[in-house]
Chains A and B, each alone.
Chain A
């Protein structure tokens, strides 16, 4: 653990990313105390420019405080990012592990299935799913998870394929250990580091995807989100640029922070492998 932290902190970008992420996390956790009140409510005169007291980042056409919407949007972004990534990991690890461990025709079928999901425009599929099942946090999480598991399956399959033939796994087989024991105790712990690295990039992508969906008006109508604010400020950008610009900066910084953390994790967990192996 100490060695891990030393390698991680050698990457300046990763440390900056972590610091930014902690700030976003604090906003998400303590939002109601940092910016009290309902972010949907009118808080002041409409179209107040930034730095006009007490609206640090101004207000939008309906008098909503932009800073308050950013604070409340952090929670939604992080929750959707985390939950959909967890769901995608569950799906991807299961499919990848079964494919890589069984090999043969099962592997063939599962990989065709995975390729199929990679070949189609995932954003349009996500759009369709959310539109048909009506926008809600649950439908957004489902849609994001359904379009983001394929890379996990591919990576996990690759790890399982190569680990399965390693000596310590062969030894476990010879010792008569059960398949679940081999999979969960021997192979999976050794395949964990690429999964962790991938997960941090996936949270970033999931947050972007949620923002894009809300931007198009497919966000959960009950929760404030950054994408919604960018979208709602779009038509009045001539009049009130700050309504779209500031939530966008929040989104950009969060995604950048997660990407930097991912790079740092990659350096720290695979000291010899600097390539991300994007596929």
Chain B
């Protein structure tokens, strides 16, 4: 793919990404207005601070005395300036609350994703190479099991086994409170706290990628160019690595993008279980306090995250696969 084509492809994907985010904001806007009662009351929620002055302030902020399209415009304009509103409960802007928690969530989802892809693809390749043997059956059973396990429950089981029973890994939080570590010692501490949550979040996707890689490997292996490679006298190792795997990975990459939303959504549960100080945990706190302004902010932010991940996988896909149709 030459450069101008590639740039056009990127531009198209960017437009699509921006329109999804705008759609999410519109959806959030209408959800609050669909709720029974005064939107100002809904947003103020049960945060316990629904005094008349605060409600008036909310009505003004959301322009509730104006017409619907005008209100929507005000809302969109605010978000374009990264103004996600104000959380009355903690007396801070929603944007600053989310900004503070975002790095932890990116670290967690990134680690979970890396684990899921590397282990999932490896298991899928192993199963496909030994198709029909006990190893293949075992991997299939493991994948099916991970597929059906509720991840918030697995998190609890991990805490029970690895933290409470064996005492190997810390159960809660992101770093040891009060230890006041810095540099490599701090990184190591965070790493130890990261293992269980990342494993929990990644398990379902690992199963997904293992099944997908296996199916895709088996399909590619029957194609003509693989037979040609074999006829040329290449050894099995290079055939699997260079011919089969490289092509079999394409649907896995494509699927990773589609699943981005599920990964980010799953982090809400995992962060709640492990008290991981990320955006998902923030959503849970907002939920407990019925802090809808904050909850809407989390919805918009996590959607934007999913869209960005989707965009990245689209670009990676295009770079890896020269056959992709630009404009599709």
Q: Which residues of A contact B (CB under 8 A)?
A: 13, 116, 118-125, 127-129, 131-133, 204, 208, 211-212, 215-218, 227, 230-231, 234, 237-238, 241, 244-245, 248, 251-252, 255-256, 259-260, 275, 278-279
Contacts and interface: CB of A to CB of B under 8 A. Distances in A.
Nearest to B164: A238
Closest 4 A-B residue pairs measured CB to CB? A123-B265, A121-B265, A248-B153, A256-B148
Contact of B153 (A116, A230, A260): A230
Contacts of B307: 119-120
B150 A128 contact: no
A204 B31 CA distance: 27
Nearest to B17: A119
Contact of B156 (A218, A230, A252, A256): A230
Given A128-B31, A215-B269, A216-B287, A260 B150 contact: no
A212 B150 contact: yes
Interface string B233-263: 0000000000000000000000100101110
Interface in B260-315: 260-262, 264-266, 268-269, 272-273, 283-284, 287-288, 290, 292, 295-296, 298-299, 302-303, 305-307, 310
B181 interface: no
B9 interface: no
B310 A119 contact: yes
A248 B269 contact: no
B24 interface: yes
Nearest to B155: A234
Contacts, number: 131
Given A132-B292, A238-B164, A122 B156 contact: no
B194 interface: no
A218 B295 CA distance: 14
SS class of chain A's interface: helix, strand, loop or mixed? Answer: helix
A278 B215 CA distance: 11
27 contacts: A116-B20, A119-B303, A120-B24, A121-B305, A123-B266, A124-B265, A125-B27, A127-B295, A128-B295, A132-B292, A204-B148, A212-B150, A212-B152, A212-B269, A215-B150, A218-B287, A230-B152, A234-B156, A237-B160, A241-B160, A245-B157, A245-B160, A255-B149, A256-B147, A259-B144, A259-B147, A279-B258
A73 to B, nearest CB: 13
Interface of B: 20, 23-24, 27-28, 31-32, 34-36, 42, 144-145, 147-150, 152-153, 156-157, 159-160, 164, 208, 212, 215, 219, 255, 258, 260-262, 264-266, 268-269, 272-273, 283-284, 287-288, 290, 292, 295-296, 298-299, 302-303, 305-307, 310
A45 to B, nearest CB: 23
Contact of A252 (B148, B215, B258, B299): B148
A256 B145 contact: yes
A207 to B, nearest CB: 9
Nearest to B140: A13
Contacts of A125: 27, 299
Contacts of A124: 264-265, 268, 283, 298-299, 302-303
Nearest to A230: B153
A127 B261 contact: no
B287 A217 contact: yes
Contacts of B28: 128
Given A121-B264, A132-B42, A216-B287, A248 B157 contact: yes
A87 B212 CA distance: 28
A216 B272 CA distance: 8
B287 A278 contact: no
Nearest to A119: B20
A84 B250 CA distance: 33
Contacts of A123: 262, 265-266, 268-269
B117 to A, nearest CB: 16
Given A259-B144, A259-B147, A252 B153 contact: yes
A16 B54 CA distance: 58
Contact of A133 (B35, B212, B219): B35
A118 B23 CA distance: 12
Given A127-B295, A237-B159, 9 more contacts: A119-B261, A123-B268, A131-B290, A212-B269, A215-B152, A241-B160, A256-B145, A259-B147, A275-B219
B299 A256 contact: no
A57 to B, nearest CB: 15
A108 to B, nearest CB: 13
A231 B272 CA distance: 10
B31 A120 contact: no
Given A132-B292, A255-B148, A259-B148, A120 B303 contact: yes
Contacts of A131: 287, 290, 292, 295
Contacts of B31: 128-129, 132
Residue of A212, A244, A245 with most chain B CB atoms under a 10 A cut-off: A212
A278 B150 contact: no
Contact of A128 (B157, B258, B299): B299
A121 B273 contact: no
Nearest to B204: A208
